[in-house]
Amino acid sequence: MIMKKLYTILVALLLLVSNSTFCQPSDKNNRIMESFIQKGMIDWEIPGLAVAIVKNGKLVFQEAYGVRELGKKNPVDINTIFSIASTTKAITVACLGILVDEGKLNWDDPVIKHFPEFRLKDSYITKNLTVRDLLTHRAGMPNTDLFWITPNFDKEEIFRRMELIDPAYSFRSSYTYQNIMYAVAGEVVARVSGVPWHQFVNERIFMPLGMTYSVPLMSELPSIENKVTPHYIIEGKPETIVTTSTDPVAPAGSIWSSIGDMSKWLAFMLDSANVNGKRLLSASTYSEILKPNHIIPKNSFYSTTALTKPNWTTYGLGWFQHDYRGKMVEFHTGSIGGLIAIVGMIPSEKIGVCVLANMDHAELRHAIMYKSFDLYAFNDNSRDWHQEIFNLYKGSDDAEAVQDQEKEDSRVEGTKTSLEKLDSYAGVFEDGIFGKIDVTFSDEELVFNFNETEIGRLTHWHYDTFKLIFSKKYWGSSFINFNLNPEGDIEELEFFGITWMKKN
């Protein structure tokens, strides 16, 4: 409690003056937004944040707040770069749109026309999977992010292993958010253009838009000083954590950019893909990108639907969509290990907003987006979006705490393992798709290694179930179950819904 009070005081002092001098608040709406953001940062315990709002082709609000890293005097400014995470997807789509306009591909081309060796387990899907399918999360594939959680698989190996994955649902019949399919889309960009995805982004998006404080890969970060450090609430207080690389699936979420550059991206998208009077995408291609392509069930959409109450929820090409106040909202969030982003716009009202921050799942981003729409598009200050969204997600946290307590209550006390010696549970377990788990015994503990990387320690829970305490505290914990054969020997291990067979 004392630490939280000290942190709150520190953030409040930092926020007395914003760090940006580019666009100081000058009218009523800007003053409202300034106060709104400052209070929200304190409540969400956000060390650093940057916001840009574009309206009718003009930058009406652009501010940077707080610090790049908690405990250090390095202020965020409009050129500080953050991870934009999954908002990268819209930029990947724009790259494909450029190639469509050049007549080099069509949205409904089969993927294998441009990437002939790509295969999925279902031959029908392999044959009929289109570029559009890659971009709309409807390819029938389950979530396969486990492929890039540890850095042992490069993109070529990930693509190869996708052929081993069973479909989760009938092709085009449902929706599962799928980062790997966007990585495949980036490979299509490379195959069609003749240059790697990251080079294409630099040359065909960043350079024309003047995005000079943006890089397409995390591997380029070491040479950049003005960047944020990710943070996570651990044991009740914010702490710095290690930056997570998404480079193996780069076209799905690897871009880092500044709020100054993202304001240029916003202006570009709000001006029908025009930059300096020159159209980068044709009118038809721009329209196709923002057209609803796939219905998303509301139970698979954002929790904010409880507050916005949309009549419909869809996905375009790289953009989530829903109705708000009778208008169509296009937006996307980005979240990756202690860093968050949101880019949202109502094209019909020529209003767009971007929020970047260095605190994991700080949902103030949603509140700023809807507050921006209300203030700058509808001149309405009647709704306290911060408090509503704070209460909504606080309620979600409370529900998660109840679930954790239910797990604790279900624990059977007084049980012991089937095997007397703890080291009997050590061994190598393999899955033909996701790789290898090596459970080792060291200092009277079982150590859990996944694809050659130590990720945590095992403590006995009950019977032959162990609790995995991740080394990265912000990952929390999971459960591992060991299964024995009729002879009483360890035969398999269950983790992440997958059965891993012990290697003899």
Q: Which residues 6+ apart lie within 8 Å of 476 measured at CB?
A: 470
Q: Do 491 and 447 sit in the same domain of this protein?
A: yes
Measure the CA–CA gap between 127 and 440, rounded to whole angstroms. 43
Q: Do 353 and 490 sit in the same domain of this protein?
A: no
Residue 240 pLDDT greater than 80, yes or no: yes
Residue 490 pLDDT greater than 50, yes or no: yes
Query: According to the model, what pLDDT value does residue 112 have?
Result: 98
Query: According to the model, what pLDDT value does residue 396 have?
Result: 72
Residues 211, 68, 53: CA angle, nearest 5 degrees: 45
Q: pLDDT exceeding 70 applies to what percent of the chain?
A: 93
Query: According to the model, what pLDDT value does residue 289 have?
Result: 98
Average pLDDT value for the chain: 92
Integer angstrom CA distances of residue 486 from 187, 211, 499: 47, 63, 17
Q: Do 32 and 82 sit in the same domain of this protein?
A: yes
Q: Do 179 and 220 sit in the same domain of this protein?
A: yes
Query: Which tens digit of pLDDT belongs to each residue from 167-226?
Result: 999 999 999 999 999 999 999 999 999 999 999 999 999 999 999 999 999 999 999 999
The number of beta carbons lying within 10 Å of the beta carbon of residue 272 is: 15
Query: According to the model, what pLDDT value does residue 276 have?
Result: 86
Q: Do 432 and 391 sit in the same domain of this protein?
A: no
Query: According to the model, what pLDDT value does residue 74 have?
Result: 96
Of residues 281, 380, 363, the one with CA closest to residue 325: 380
Q: Do 344 and 434 sit in the same domain of this protein?
A: no
Measure the CA–CA gap between 449 and 454, rounded to whole angstroms. 4
Integer angstrom CA distances of residue 67 from 71, 77, 80, 341, 411: 8, 9, 10, 16, 43
Query: According to the model, what pLDDT value does residue 12 have?
Result: 40
Of residues 58, 11, 69, the one with CA closest to residue 37: 11
Is residue 404 one of the residues assigned to a domain? Answer: no
Q: Do 305 and 440 sit in the same domain of this protein?
A: no
Of residues 195, 222, 227, the one with CA closest to residue 104: 195
Is residue 354 one of the residues assigned to a domain? Answer: yes
Q: Which residues 6+ apart lie within 8 Å of 225 measured at CB?
A: none
pLDDT confidence tier of residue 23, bands split at 50, 70 and 90 = very low
The sign one gets for the Cα dihedral 451, 452, 455, 458 is: positive
Is residue 111 one of the residues assigned to a domain? Answer: no
Query: According to the model, what pLDDT value does residue 22 have?
Result: 41
Integer angstrom CA distances of residue 347 from 87, 352, 373: 17, 8, 11
Of residues 10 and 260, the one with the higher pLDDT is 260
Kindly tell me the burial class for residue 424, based on how many C-beta atoms sit within 10 Å of its own C-beta (0-12, 13-18, 19 or more).
middle
Is residue 460 one of the residues assigned to a domain? Answer: yes
CATH of the domain at 326: 3.40.710.10
The least confident of 293-297, 329-333, 392-396, 463-467 is: 392-396
The sign one gets for the Cα dihedral 63, 51, 357, 4 is: positive
Query: Which tens digit of pLDDT belongs to each residue from 398-439?
Result: 666 777 777 887 899 999 999 999 999 999 999 989 999 999
Residue environment code for 191-208, b if the CB has 16+ CB neighbours within 10 A, otherwise e: bbbeebbbebbbebbbee
Query: According to the model, what pLDDT value does residue 113 have?
Result: 98
Q: Which residues 6+ apart lie within 8 Å of 17 measured at CB?
A: none
Q: Which helix (H) or strand (E) holds 64?
A: strand 58-66
pLDDT confidence tier of residue 34, bands split at 50, 70 and 90 = very high
Q: Do 362 and 490 sit in the same domain of this protein?
A: no
Q: Do 236 and 369 sit in the same domain of this protein?
A: yes
pLDDT confidence tier of residue 16, bands split at 50, 70 and 90 = very low
Residue 299 pLDDT greater than 90, yes or no: no
Q: Do 361 and 428 sit in the same domain of this protein?
A: no
Q: Which helix (H) or strand (E) holds 398?
A: helix 385-409
Give the tokens for residue 184.
């495949």
Residue 7 pLDDT greater than 60, yes or no: no
Is residue 412 one of the residues assigned to a domain? Answer: no
Integer angstrom CA distances of residue 123 from 107, 118, 170: 20, 11, 13
Residue 5 pLDDT greater than 80, yes or no: no
Q: Do 224 and 287 sit in the same domain of this protein?
A: yes
Kindly tell me the burial class for residue 348, based on how many C-beta atoms sit within 10 Å of its own C-beta (0-12, 13-18, 19 or more).
exposed
Our count of domains for the chain comes to: 2
> Of 330, 364, 399, which marks where a domain is finished?
399
Is residue 119 one of the residues assigned to a domain? Answer: no
The number of beta carbons lying within 10 Å of the beta carbon of residue 470 is: 14
CATH of the domain at 460: 2.40.128.600
Of residues 333, 336, 318, 332, the one with CA closest to residue 149: 336
Q: Which helix (H) or strand (E) holds 219?
A: none
- Neighbouring-strand partners of residue 459: 467
Please check whether residue 463 is in contact with residue 472, taking contact to mean a CB–CB distance below 8 angstroms: no
Residue 235 pLDDT greater than 80, yes or no: yes
Is residue 26 one of the residues assigned to a domain? Answer: yes
Measure the CA–CA gap between 155 and 76, rounded to whole angstroms. 33
What average pLDDT does range 134-154 have in this prediction? 89
Of residues 42 and 298, the one with the higher pLDDT is 42
> Of 399, 433, 460, which marks where a domain is finished?
399
Query: What range does the domain containing 356 cover?
Result: 2-105+131-399
Residue 21 pLDDT greater than 50, yes or no: no
> Of 366, 399, 432, which marks where a domain is finished?
399
Kindly tell me the burial class for residue 278, based on how many C-beta atoms sit within 10 Å of its own C-beta (0-12, 13-18, 19 or more).
exposed
Of residues 333, 495, 349, 492, the one with CA closest to residue 425: 492
Measure the CA–CA gap between 252 and 93, rounded to whole angstroms. 10
Residue 152 pLDDT greater than 80, yes or no: no
Measure the CA–CA gap between 360 and 233, rounded to whole angstroms. 8
Q: Do 298 and 426 sit in the same domain of this protein?
A: no
Measure the CA–CA gap between 183 and 251, rounded to whole angstroms. 5
Give the tokens for residue 49.
């944040």
Is residue 413 one of the residues assigned to a domain? Answer: no
